[in-house]
Amino acid sequence: MVMKKLIGIFVVVITMVSCTKEIELNFPDIERPLVVNCLFSEDEPWKVYLTRTKQHNELQDEFVSNATIRINAEGKAPVELNYAGNGTYLSKQYPEVGIVYQLQIEVPGHQTITATNSIPPKVEVSGYTYENRQMTYFFSNTLEDFEVAPLKLNLKTDAPAFTRFRFYSFNTKTGYLRYKLTKEDIDALRNEGVPTCPLTELEKITGQVFTTGKFIGMLRKIMETCDYHLLETTVANLVSPFSVSAREPEAFDIDAIFSTTGYLHNISIDFRTVLGELRGDDTVDLFVDYSPANNKGNATGHSIEYWLEVTTMNEDYYNYQKTYILQAFQAANPYTEPVQVHSNIQNGVGIFAGYNRQMIHFYDY
């Protein structure tokens, strides 16, 4: 009797397996909105990034190259942007603080895309107090301890202002160094016996300029991909860096920052961005990462500079930044509702918003 039951179960299982087949799901073609990204300030010329929204099976961005893009402002000649490749449109003209700009984008087959925004005035930093003492900050969002130091800011603003605070360090030994591989370098590495796999990967970035950190990171990634662990030493012995005279943005290292001020806080589990709204003159209490001080030994004879980035933004940028962080950190959690990233684009999606950024150099180790 037991044997008959087992045979019956076996037959059912075989039948189920033999009846299994793959079913292709055909998703209907729908009009895909265009995605606009334009965050502008008086420090950089106009730049608009334009793509299409992705379908379920697409990994790469689909660039839009046939758009007519102009920036309009009352009493000023329209600014025409030219396509520069990879979905990017550029102009040599700079935005100005306080002027209301209207973005206008024409793409064949789509409705005219528009958005309106301006650059807000800077929040004035009237003073600061930094205490060079190491303390522990418990970040309840991630249940972790961070080694930090306290920083107090005095801020002045004539009107409510949306603000973002970020903390950066700059290594004066490596921050001015740049690396660039040439064809001659590749030939020299080939003569040194470097295998084909890492050489092929290095050839892809020949002619590009890298900061020290990015160059080392790129080499280590190639080492892992190609399983060749002598690459970093071999390249370091053959390729000499060159120096630049300015502190370029990509050479700064972003570090942890926190706030205990009631109206300023870290969104989700992001420990590198403090956001909030100032409603007048006030004092802000921050805690910045102390680890650059502990790593000073890596810059023998050179200092590590501490910098605070204070960004004043309008409400559209603030809501975009906040919802973007929330979406990024909640996307992997199946028990939370998806977060819709804020958009101020008419007949499309994305962001067109101005900001005003200042960097404050407040301490050297």
DSSP characters over 282-294: EEEEEEEE-HHHH
Residue pair 364/304 in contact by the 8 Å Cβ criterion: yes
- Phi/psi for 174 (5° steps) reads -100, -15
Q: Tokens 């030219």 belong to which residue?
A: 82
Up-side HSE of residue 354: CA atoms within 13 Å toward CB?
25
Distance CA 55, CA 52 (A): 9
Task: Give the gyration radius of the chain's Cα atoms.
Answer: 26
What angle is formed at CA 314 by the lines to CA 74 and CA 61, rounded to 5 degrees?
90
The Cβ of residue 143 has, within 10 Å, a number of other Cβ atoms equal to 8
Can you tell me whether residue 323 is helix, strand or coil?
helix
133: its two tokens: 């003492």
Residue pair 50/67 in contact by the 8 Å Cβ criterion: yes
From first to last of its 365 residues, what are the pLDDT tens digits of the chain?
544 444 454 444 444 444 545 555 454 455 678 999 999 999 999 999 999 987 656 667 899 999 999 999 998 999 999 999 999 999 999 999 999 999 999 999 999 999 999 999 999 999 999 999 999 999 999 999 999 999 999 999 888 899 999 999 999 989 999 999 999 999 999 998 999 999 999 999 999 999 998 999 999 999 999 998 888 888 888 888 999 999 999 999 999 999 988 889 999 999 999 999 988 888 999 999 999 888 765 545 678 999 999 999 999 999 999 999 999 888 767 777 888 999 999 999 999 999 999 999 999 98
